[in-house]
Structure 1
Amino acid sequence: MSQEAKSSACLALADGSVFFGSAFGASGEVTGEVVFNTSMTGYGEILTDPSYCGQIVTMTYPLIGNYGINFEDVESNGPRLRAFVVRELCRAPSNFRSELSLDDYLRKAGVIGLEGIDTRSLVRRLRSQGSVTGVLSTVDLDPQSLIAKAQAAPSIVGQDLVQEVMPAASFAWTERLGNFATLAPQDSQPTRYHVVAIDYGMKWNILRHLTQVGCRVTVVPGTSTAAEILALQPDGVFLSNGPGDPEPLTYAIRTIRELLGKLPIFGICLGHQLLGLAAGARTYKLKFGHRGANQPVMNLRNSKVEITSQNHGFAIDALTLPANIEVTHRNLNDQTIEGMRLTDQPAFSVQYHPEAAAGPHDSAYLFEEFCSLMDLSVEKMKA
Structure 2
Amino acid sequence: VCTYPLIGNYGIPDNERTNGVYKNFESESIHIRALIISDYSTEYSHWSATRSLGDWLQENKIPGIYGIDTRMLTRKLRDKGTMLGKVIIDENPDVDFEDPNMTDLVSEVSIKKPVEYKAGKKKVVLVDCGTKNNIIQAFLGRNISIKRVPYNYDFACESCDGILLSNGPGDPKINKKTIENARKAMEKNTPILGICLGSQILALAAGADTYKLKYGHRGHNQPCNEMGTKRCYITSQNHGYAVNADTLAEDWRQWFVNDNDGTNEGLFHISKPFFAAQFHPEASPGPDDTEFIFDIFVRALK
Q: Is it true that 1:247 corresponds to 2:173 in the alignment? A: yes
- In the alignment, which residue of structure 2 is the partner of 1:79? 30
Alignment partner, residue 69 of structure 1: 12
Q: Distance in 1 between matches of 2:207 and 2:139?
A: 28
Asked if the contact 1:205/1:357 (under 8 Å) is kept, the reply is: no
TM-score (norm 1): 0.73
* Aligned counterparts, 1:118-133, within 5 A: 118-133=69-84
Please tell me whether the aligned partners of residues 66 and 91 of structure 1 are also in contact (alpha carbons under 8 angstroms): yes
Deviations 1:156-191 (A, max 9, x none): 3332211111111001125xxxxxxxxxxxxxxx72
**Alpha-carbon distance in structure 1 between the residues aligned to 2:152 and 2:44:** 40
Structure 1: distance between partners of 2:55 and 2:219 = 24
- Residue deviations 1:289-319, cap 9 Å, x none? 1111111111124321111111100001122
> Which residue number in structure 2 is paired with residue 102 of structure 1?
53
1:224-303 equivalent positions in 2, closer than 5 A? 224-226=153-155, 229-231=156-158, 233-262=159-188, 263-303=190-230
In terms of Rg, which structure is larger? 1
Distance 2:90 2:289 in 1: 45
Q: Which AA in structure 1 matches 2:109? A: V
Q: Structure 2: any 5+ residue segments left out of the alignment?
A: 16-22
State the match for 1:6 in structure 2: none
SS of the residue corresponding to residue 164 of structure 1 reads helix
Q: Which residues in structure 2 correspond to 1:153-172 (within 5 Å)?
A: 153=98, 155-172=99-116
Matched residue, 1:173: 117
In the alignment, which of 59, 65, 89 is matched to residue 114 of structure 1?
Answer: 65
Aligned position for 1:196: 125
Alignment-derived partner of residue 96 in structure 2: 149
CA distance in 2, matches of 1:298, 1:62: 32
- 1:271 counterpart SS class: helix
**Distance in 1 between the 2:100 and 2:287 partners?**
28
Q: Give the structure, 1 or 2, with the largest relative contact order (CA under 8 Å, sep 6 or more).
A: 1
Distance 1:133 1:199 in 2: 26
CA contact (8 A) 1:281 1:320 kept: yes
Structure 1 stretches of 5 or more lacking a match? Answer: 1-57, 175-189, 379-383
Partner deviation per Cα, 1:76-115 (whole Å, 9 max, x = no partner): 1110110111111121111101121111100111001111
Structure-2 separation of matches of 1:339 and 1:79 = 28
- Asked if the contact 1:156–1:245 (Cα under 8 Å) also holds between the matched residues in 2, the reply is no
Q: Which runs of 4+ in 1 moved over 6 A?
A: 357-360
Q: Could you tell me the percent identity over the aligned residues?
A: 39
Residues of 2 paired with 1:85 and 1:361: CA distance? 31
Would you say the 8 A contact 1:65–1:89 is kept in 2? yes
The separation in 1 between residues aligned to 2:54 and 2:104, in whole angstroms, is 30
Aligned to 1:216: 145
| 1:227-252 deviation digits (Å, cap 9, x = unpaired) | xx433x21000000011000111101
1:337 to 227, 248, 264: 264
In 1: Cα distance, 2:287 partner to 2:74 partner: 23
1:361 CA drift (Å) = 3.2
Q: Give aligned pairs, total.
A: 293
**Distance of 2:268 and 2:280 partners within structure 1:** 16
Distance 1:68 1:208 in 2: 24
Task: Return the letter of the residue paired with 1:106.
Answer: L
Q: What amino acid is aligned across from residue 107 of structure 1 in structure 2?
A: Q
Deviation at 1:120, TM superposition (A): 1.0
Q: Could you tell me how far apart the structure 2 residues matched to 1:237 and 1:206 are?
A: 13
Q: CA deviation at 1:279?
A: 0.4
Please give the root-mean-square deviation of Cα atoms over the aligned residues, in Å: 1.6
Question: Over residues 109-141 of structure 1, what are the superposed CA-to-partner deviations in whole Å (9 max), with x where a residue is unaligned?
Answer: 10011111111111111111111111113xx32
